[in-house]
Amino acid sequence: MTHAKQKSDAVGEFDLIERFFSHIGQTLSNDVMLGIGDDAALVSCGHDSIVLTVDTLVSGVHFYPDDPPDSIAHKALMVNLSDLSAMGAVPFAFLLSITLPESNETWLAAFSKALNTAALRAQVSLIGGDTTHGPLSVSITALGRVKRDQALKRSSAKLGDNIYITGELGLAAFYVYAREHQLDPGERATQAYRFPNPPIQLGHQLCGLAHAAIDVSDGLLADLSHILTASHVGARLTRESIPTASEWTILPSDDAFRRAVTSGDDYVLCFTAPKSAAASIDAVLIGEICEGEGIQIDGKCWTGNVGYDHFAST
């Protein structure tokens, strides 16, 4: 996700995780129902699973150094709740690890107030964390709960499933584009970038209806690709059905579409569900799961970049 892409000829973000982290201690505990590779991990707890996820926001990467503290607080919590929703979980608590360049009371008061507002809205309590001195970064570990066999895993998409998303794409990415090109991003894009509002209750409501889900944080095509790879299936999408932010109409339509579906920071859910559930689902139908691999849009295989990678070469 987001704007300060690293130039590197080294291994990409997901290969890096796979090669250096994915094997560590994976076989040790019977209580771990699902480890690395989904939006969150699942740990067995009676008839439920506790769902755990951590996401870090780094100044200059996930937000601009001049972004207001209330935005940073809101976003740090919401991006984590978005991952819990993508597992079908109901959130209940979180831990905050914050690194601060200085102890600035005005900044902290605004940060704390916004974090409290977001936490109350989501019905989650701050139960611990860590505070250190250094370049500004905010890391939140969020905890949720889901019935043990109802989690929405990336690996559960089935042939013939419909594919849905819960909102329009590319609005936050337009904010970044506008800032980089000295354009006015406008109120809508600014709000989407600074105060993302993922559907934090929807994931849970989809339990029993949907098969697989992921939250769109790195671009629709990148995140949908994770479902496809984990489920060993392909996807057919219809371009016309994919809602993209109207702000992008300043660019030629192919470029606008490409940016909207590959840029990230959308924090909508992308999920698959059997056609039999269609009448119960209130989301945008964008395609279906098919045999094979990869993504076809209007019958053509998508061969370009799919989304954001922190370590991809530019």
Q: Which run of H or E residues covers position 57? A: strand 48-58
**Smallest separation (angstroms) from ligand ADP to the CB of 82:** 8
Q: Which is nearer to ligand ADP, 17 or 301 (CB)?
A: 17
* Residue number with CB closer to Mg ion (48 or 215): 215
CA distance 258 to 246: 13
How near is the Cβ of 183 to ligand ADP at its closest, in Å? Answer: 28
Instruction: Write the DSSP assignment of 104-167 as a string of letters.
Output: -HHHHHHHHHHHHHHHHHHT-EEEEEEEEESS-EEEEEEEEEEETT----GGG--TT-EEEESS
Residue linked to tokens 């977001």 = 118
Q: Is 48 in the site for Mg ion (CB under 5 A)?
A: no
Considering only 59, 76, 81, 83, the residue that binds ligand ADP (CB under 6 A) is 83
Q: On the CB side of 223, how many CA atoms lie within 13 Å of its CA? A: 31
With CB under 5 A as the contact rule, the residue among 38, 48, 55, 83 that binds Mg ion is 83
Per CB under 6 A, the list member of 48, 55, 168, 266 interacting with ligand ADP is: 55
Q: Compute the distance between CA of residue 102 and CA of residue 30 in angstroms, rounded to an integer.
A: 43
Among 4, 6, 15, 17, binds ligand ADP (CB under 6 A): 17
Please tell me whether residue 38 binds ligand ADP under the rule CB under 6 A.
yes
128 counts as binding ligand ADP under rule CB under 6 A: no
Segment 202 to 261, residues that bind ligand ADP, using CB under 6 A: 217
Count of alpha carbons within 13 angstroms of residue 217, beta-carbon side: 27
Distance CA(112)–CA(110), nearest Å, equals: 6
Chain residues binding Mg ion by CB under 5 A are: 39, 83, 215
Chain residues binding ligand ADP by CB under 6 A are: 17, 21, 36-39, 55, 83, 217
